[in-house]
Amino acid sequence: MAAVEVERAKLEANFRNLKLAGHVGFDSLPDQLVNKSVQNGFIFNILCIGETGLGKSTLMDSLFNTSFESNPSPHNLPSVKLKSQTYELQESNVRLKLAIVDTVGYGDQINKEDSFKSVVDYIDSQFEAYLQEELKIKRSLSNYHDSRIHVCLYFICPTGHGLKSIDLVCMKKIDTKVNIVPIIAKADTISKTELQKFKTKIMSELQSNGVNIYQFPIDDESVLDVNSQMNAHVPFAVVGSTDFVRVGNKMMRSRQYPWGTVQVENESHCDFVKLREMLIRTNMEDMREKTHGRHYELYRKKRLEQMGFSDVDSENKPVSFQQTCEAKRSTHLLELQQKEDEMRQMFVARVKEKEAELKEAEKDLHNKFDKLKKDHMEEKKKLEDNRKKLEEDILEFTRRKTQISQQSQHHMLTLGKSKKK
């Protein structure tokens, strides 16, 4: 902050102060700005985090004095879902596009460890959508429907005991992403003395766990007093109602009990009016500004760094966007070249491997062929030998047969001669 002021003083030292001789007209600049803003209308996005049935919808109806017509959520959802609904409201000539984002099923799961994840993802994806629009060549930010969350109303259960771990974990996870305004829901269920102790306990638990909640700004003198007073009342203990009871000649939002009536807008009954004043009448613009200038800026910075962009190089010298792009392009090309080389080498190695495999297979085939040939020759030779032997046997047989038949003829002749004698 001090460095910024030094810079501004340096700049101002270079300016010459001149007096105008008459009315020029640029004193209408604030009016021009107001007219333009009124013409464009405003966007405000509220995220309500709180357990099922904690009075989120009733409070929204009470805050904007209307009926948003919501349905009660079931208690048996397997995970937390975020549901966004957008409304167009008008007060005098000011149009407000209001989005109410609800955590459906929050706190209903047996394992609540991951309850914050859907919330974080939702907030981040709205930032991401805005960043993507901003990074487009042809941007249309002027008519872009900004869905970034401007405030998170965190509904605390009126237990009187302090925060639950789900509250601390969730608030810690989102405290750099969104303006958190913690509120004690259904504050009519807790007694006056208990409430004060409960508030102190909540604040000390938030502090000891390092949870940064939204502080109503005290840098603008016009709101310094009211905001610093209100900062001391946080967390606001609120009551909501959709019922009206006649008080005097006015119908007031109230909750009726056998022992009495709680008036939502009665400051001695609850902090509802304080919340409405701070949230809507005094600090709505500051929350919109902080969302863009602080939370979104942080998200943008992280994302651009993830993408490899930086304002300075490794030697802390400033680098332009173009230089970063060129450097990224050349490293990308280098990486591509390396990948291509690696692939080529891999391909050559694979081809060599396959060639060796094929050669081995060819050699095997040759060996097999030679063996088969040899076996075949041996078999052929054996057969030839057998054939020769057989032929010899046949010859021998014929020879013996002839010999025997000759011998028997001779014997017959000899027998005939001796008979004639």
Ligand X SMILES: Nc1nc2c(ncn2[C@@H]2O[C@H](COP(=O)(O)OP(=O)(O)OP(=O)(O)O)[C@@H](O)[C@H]2O)c(=O)[nH]1
Comparing C-alpha atoms, which of 179, 211, 182 is closest to residue 285? Answer: 179
Cβ-based neighbours of 159, under 8 Å, separated by 6 or more: 198
Residue with nearest beta carbon to Mg ion: 57
Is there binding between residue 115 and ligand X (CB under 6 A)? no
CB 138 within 8 A of CB 217: no
What is the C-alpha separation between 393 and 388, in angstroms, rounded?
8
Is there binding between residue 265 and ligand X (CB under 6 A)? no
Nearest distance in Å: CB 150, Mg ion:
20
Residue 115 binding partner per list ligand X, Mg ion, none, with a CB distance cut-off of 5 to 8 Å that depends on partner kind: none
Nearest distance in Å: CB 189, ligand X:
5
The smaller minimum CB distance to ligand X, of residues 109 and 189, is found at: 189
CB 237 within 8 A of CB 271: yes
The 3-state DSSP class for residue 385 equals helix
Neighbour tally for 168: CB within 10 Å: 17
**CA torsion angle for 107, 295, 215, 36 (degrees, to 10)?**
-120
Residue with nearest beta carbon to ligand X: 55
The smaller minimum CB distance to Mg ion, of residues 57 and 126, is found at: 57
Q: Which two tokens stand for residue 339?
A: 């990948």
Nearest distance in Å: CB 155, ligand X:
7
Q: Between 177 and 196, how does the x/- string for binding to ligand X read (CB under 6 A)?
A: ---------x-xx-------
Q: Which two tokens stand for residue 179?
A: 């303006």
CB 80 within 8 A of CB 106: yes
Q: Which of 42, 68, 70, 303 binds Mg ion (CB under 5 A)?
A: 70
Compute how many residues bind Mg ion; rule: CB under 5 A. Answer: 3
Any idea what DSSP says for residue 312?
B
Comparing C-alpha atoms, which of 169, 195, 62 is closest to residue 106? Answer: 169
Residue with tokens 């829901």: 185
Strands (E), 17-127: 42-49, 81-91, 94-104
Q: Which of 54, 99, 123, 174 binds ligand X (CB under 6 A)?
A: 54
The smaller minimum CB distance to Mg ion, of residues 84 and 266, is found at: 84
The smaller minimum CB distance to Mg ion, of residues 272 and 299, is found at: 272
Q: Which two tokens stand for residue 70?
A: 């919501």
Q: Which of 44, 45, 46, 52 binds ligand X (CB under 6 A)?
A: 52
Residue 239 binding partner per list ligand X, Mg ion, none, with a CB distance cut-off of 5 to 8 Å that depends on partner kind: ligand X
The smaller minimum CB distance to Mg ion, of residues 57 and 283, is found at: 57
What is the C-alpha separation between 68 and 338, in angstroms, rounded?
59
Is there binding between residue 55 and ligand X (CB under 6 A)? yes
Q: Which of 45, 57, 282, 283 binds Mg ion (CB under 5 A)?
A: 57
| C-alpha dist (Å) from residue 302 to 307, 308, 310 | 9, 10, 10
Nearest distance in Å: CB 108, ligand X:
9
Is there binding between residue 30 and ligand X (CB under 6 A)? no
Nearest distance in Å: CB 205, Mg ion:
26
The smaller minimum CB distance to ligand X, of residues 177 and 253, is found at: 253
Q: Which of 43, 46, 49, 58 binds ligand X (CB under 6 A)?
A: 58
Which parts of 67-86 interact with ligand X (CB under 6 A)?
Answer: 70, 72-73
Stretch that binds ligand X, among 26-34, 46-54, 77-85, 167-175 (CB under 6 A): 46-54
What is the C-alpha separation between 185 and 4, in angstroms, rounded?
41
Stretch that binds Mg ion, among 67-75, 236-244, 345-353, 394-402 (CB under 5 A): 67-75
Which parts of 198-257 interact with ligand X (CB under 6 A)?
Answer: 239-240, 255
What is the C-alpha separation between 377 and 348, in angstroms, rounded?
43
| C-alpha dist (Å) from residue 175 to 123, 142, 293, 301, 331 | 11, 28, 15, 16, 36
Is there binding between residue 56 and ligand X (CB under 6 A)? yes
CB 124 within 8 A of CB 300: no
Residues at the interface with Mg ion (CB under 5 A): 56-57, 70
- What are the residues binding ligand X (CB under 6 A)? 50, 52-58, 70, 72-73, 186, 188-189, 239-240, 255
